[in-house]
Amino acid sequence: MTFHIKPQPGVSQIPVYKPGRPIEEVQKQFGITDVIKLASNENPLGTSPKAVEAIRQAATQINMYPDGKSAVLAAALARRFNVQPEQVAVGNGADGLIMELCMAYLDEQSEVVVSRSSFPMYDVFSHTMRAHLVKTPLKEYGLDLQAMARAITDRTKLVFVCNPNNPTGTALRAAEVEAFLRDVPEHVIVIFDEAYYEYAASPEFPDTIEYVRQGVQNVVVLRTFSKAYGLAGIRVGYGFGSAPLLAPLKLVKEPFAVNLLAQAAGLAALEDDEFCARSVALNNEGKAYLYREFERLGLFYVPTHTNFILTRLGPKMLWLVERLMEHGVIIRPGDAYDLPEFARITIGTPEQNRRLVRTLEQLLTEM
């Protein structure tokens, strides 16, 4: 029987989002048990122990609906980052806040400016709202803010600035951001997606929350507990912006978008500075090791400000990705990001990193 019911036009333009392959799927496909996943930028150290304990305690209350406002967590975030509670939004991951921003501000007359080879959920939710997506080119594997500013028109509603950028790992400097914001008209909302903020140790990295503190009305800053705090599986993110800018998000969001366990975990993780510091230190150690090994193997890589490294594997990238999976190592191919010769490789534990290098070196000799 033929299906005649068509979705709204924007849906047909949505690219299929391909997350990193699950470990269980690779185990089943290749009949192996020892598999490591270096594809989704998850924290190899695990999860904040304080967050795990908070989840255990909160689990006895899951017969109750969560606080739809995430008020306790929002207040804690406001204290930590020296903003007002009404300048904080909590979401089902940073993705949930991206979706809410698109729902609240976009329609078929809107334009959205994004960079080529950046986080694909900007594309997904913009198309869902039937907005016109305008993509600007990369500049030395990073975002070209001047090109993004030139792409703004009277119809532009949102500009997504992924900093550090996923999947390239590059970071913008404070001076670049300051100059960019001077060129952005007041009717355009600039969304700084800082999911990898904790790993960006450069003294030149911009303090974008300061714009919110100073009363700038058209800036939103998004962050997440998924990466450095190890809460990817429970989905909790947060953002900062002016109260009038964030108010419409409350009208479009699900009544209970952030579940009870996620709120408890986020609140506890926020106080676990020691775990976050250990996560960053482990990442820095692994980054230095992989830099050395990639150079030894003659592989080009993009220096990173994140917990992953974009690495050129060449024309046989997809073959190498598949062969690595056969050997129990999952990495992320770059073709979905319009980087067909590259792969995005998460920085793992020392043993995971060594296994990746050993396997990659073996396969490169077979090419």
Q: How far, rounded to the nearest angstrom, does the alpha carbon of residue 268 sit from its chain's CA centroid?
A: 21
Note whether 165 and 195 are within 8 A (CB): no
CA-wise closest residue to 225 among 276, 190, 277: 276
Q: What is the predicted pLDDT for the residue at 222?
A: 98
Q: What is the predicted pLDDT for the residue at 15?
A: 67
Judge if pTM exceeds 0.85: yes
Whole-angstrom distance, CA of residue 225 vs CA of residue 265: 9
Q: What is the predicted pLDDT for the residue at 17?
A: 62
Neighbours of 31 (CB within 10 A): 7
Whole-angstrom distance, CA of residue 56 vs CA of residue 64: 15
- CATH architecture of structural domain 49-271: 3-Layer(aba) Sandwich (3.40)
324, burial (CB in 10 Å: exposed 0-12, middle 13-18, buried 19+): buried
Within 8 A by CB and 6+ apart from 203, the residues are: none
Q: Between the CA of residue 303 and those of 5, 160, 359, what are the distances in Å?
A: 48, 22, 22
Q: What is the predicted pLDDT for the residue at 86?
A: 97
> Nearest-5° angle of CA 99, CA 101, CA 102?
65
Give DSSP secondary structure letters for 92-136.
SHHHHHHHHHHHHH--TT-EEEEESSS-THHHHHHHHTTPEEEEE
Q: Where are the domains of the chain?
A: 19-46+274-366, 49-271
Q: Between the CA of residue 284 and those of 103, 170, 298, 366, what are the distances in Å?
A: 37, 15, 21, 31
Q: What is the predicted pLDDT for the residue at 9?
A: 76
Note whether 93 and 286 are within 8 A (CB): no
Note whether 216 and 189 are within 8 A (CB): no
Q: What is the predicted pLDDT for the residue at 18?
A: 67
Below-50 pLDDT ranges, the chain: none
Domain spanning 19-46+274-366, CATH class:
alpha beta
Q: What is the dihedral of CA 268, 271, 274, 280, to 10 degrees?
A: 90
Instruction: Find the length of the chain.
Output: 367
Using DSSP, state whether 72 is helix, strand or coil.
Answer: helix
Residue 242 phi, psi (nearest 5): -65, 150
